Amino acid sequence: MPELPEVETERGRLAARLEGRRIETARIDDARLTRPDDPAWVAARLAGEHVDAVERRGKYLVVRLTGGEVLLVHLRMTGGFRYGPASHERAVLELDDGTRIAYRDVRRFGTWLLLDPEEAEKHLGIRLGPEPLGRRFTTAYLAGRLAGRKAPVKAAILDQRTVAGLGNIYADESLWYGRIHPLRPAGELSAEEVARLRQGIRRALRLGIGRQGADLGDGTYAGGRMQHEFRVYGRTGEPCDRCGTPIAKTRAGGRGTWYCSTCQA
């Protein structure tokens, strides 16, 4: 499941091909992708448009068209773009320079929403807190969001309204870097612990972006190298890189959760 670093990697590759180009033809084969809108309507609106910019907000790709509309793409479980023939193609864009861009999605949970800019801002604004690598994501902000919450801190940071872009992998990695136990009630963290958590989140995500995300072997985010840098995720029984204690597995917020029982207090 793509998280901020995987989506950022997709964004960079897509932007390199799409920005400044004109979409000659658009074909959308899967009505689930655009619902409630008709896929033929969305495809007709995309054809002939120039692309100004491909941005990212949380786990969304934000494709800004010269005509003013915005295509919000959420990859969900297995969505991604390919620049050659691909299996499980759900949509295809052909550009004025001959580039063919396929959207593939094995599980078909991904979404394409074509909105005007105000609608797009509203759509993102009600769902997403600040960008974790942006200036608004301060320790004071995070402390305010966690204050009074009894939920496990891991569940709190998976809430996209607390901070945009974390999923199961990077939440676990962030908590390891911050030396915070994933089951601690969010509201009980000290100011110093919140500061460590914020730094841990930023460190884990920066590392993930630098490694072009994690390739979990299913072919969806091929080429990522973050899976070689996991400190806890999926490492049950392996020694903690900081203290040697075997990594433990539990559940938090309904998700498999890995941590070190010695150095995450």
Q: Is there a catalytic annotation at residue 90?
A: no
Size of the site for Zn ion (CB under 5 A): 7
Q: How far apart are CA 210 and CA 203, in angstroms?
A: 11
Q: Which of 160, 199, 227, 262 binds Zn ion (CB under 5 A)?
A: 262
Q: Is there a catalytic annotation at residue 3?
A: yes
Which one from 56, 59, 104, 198 is the annotated catalytic residue?
A: 59
Tokens found for residue 214? 């994690």
Q: How is residue 226 annotated by DSSP? A: G
Instruction: Give me the residue label for tokens 């995987």.
Output: 6
CA 97 to chain centroid, in Å, comes to 29
Burial (0-12, 13-18, 19+ Cβ within 10 Å), 252: buried
Q: Considering the complex, what minimum distance in angstroms separates the CB of residue 240 from Zn ion?
A: 3
Span from 1-9, 25-33, 154-162, 235-243 in contact with Zn ion (CB under 5 A): 235-243
Which one from 76, 100, 203, 255 is the annotated catalytic residue?
A: 255
263 interacts with Zn ion by CB under 5 A: yes
Q: Which is nearer to Zn ion, 139 or 261 (CB)?
A: 261
Q: Which is nearer to Zn ion, 209 or 260 (CB)?
A: 260
Which one from 2, 39, 130, 132 is the annotated catalytic residue?
A: 2
Q: Is there a catalytic annotation at residue 36?
A: no
Q: How is residue 219 annotated by DSSP? A: S
- The CA radius of gyration of the chain, in Å to the nearest whole number, is 20
Q: Which of 40, 147, 243, 265 binds Zn ion (CB under 5 A)?
A: 243
Instruction: Give me the residue label for tokens 């509201």.
Output: 187
Angle of helix 191-210 versus helix 139-146 axis, rounded to 10: 110
Span from 82-90, 92-100, 142-150, 240-248 in contact with Zn ion (CB under 5 A): 240-248
Strand partners, 111: 74
260 interacts with Zn ion by CB under 5 A: yes
Q: Considering the complex, what minimum distance in angstroms separates the CB of residue 180 from Zn ion?
A: 12
Of 48, 52, 47, the residue nearest 65 (C-alpha):
52
Tokens found for residue 118? 């105000």
Q: Are strands 70-74 and 111-115 parallel, antiparallel or unpaired?
A: antiparallel
Q: Considering the complex, what minimum distance in angstroms separates the CB of residue 250 from Zn ion?
A: 15
Q: Which of 42, 240, 247, 252 binds Zn ion (CB under 5 A)?
A: 240
180 interacts with Zn ion by CB under 5 A: no
Q: Within positions 34 to 73, which residues make up the interface with Zn ion, using CB under 5 A?
A: none
3-class DSSP state of 25:
strand
Tokens found for residue 142? 């995070």
Q: Give the number of other Cβ atoms within 10 Å of residue 187's Cβ.
A: 15
Q: Considering the complex, what minimum distance in angstroms separates the CB of residue 246 from Zn ion?
A: 9
Span from 21-29, 144-152, 204-212, 252-260 in contact with Zn ion (CB under 5 A): 252-260
Catalytic residue set: 2-3, 59, 255
Q: Which residues bind Zn ion (CB under 5 A)?
A: 240, 242-243, 245, 260, 262-263
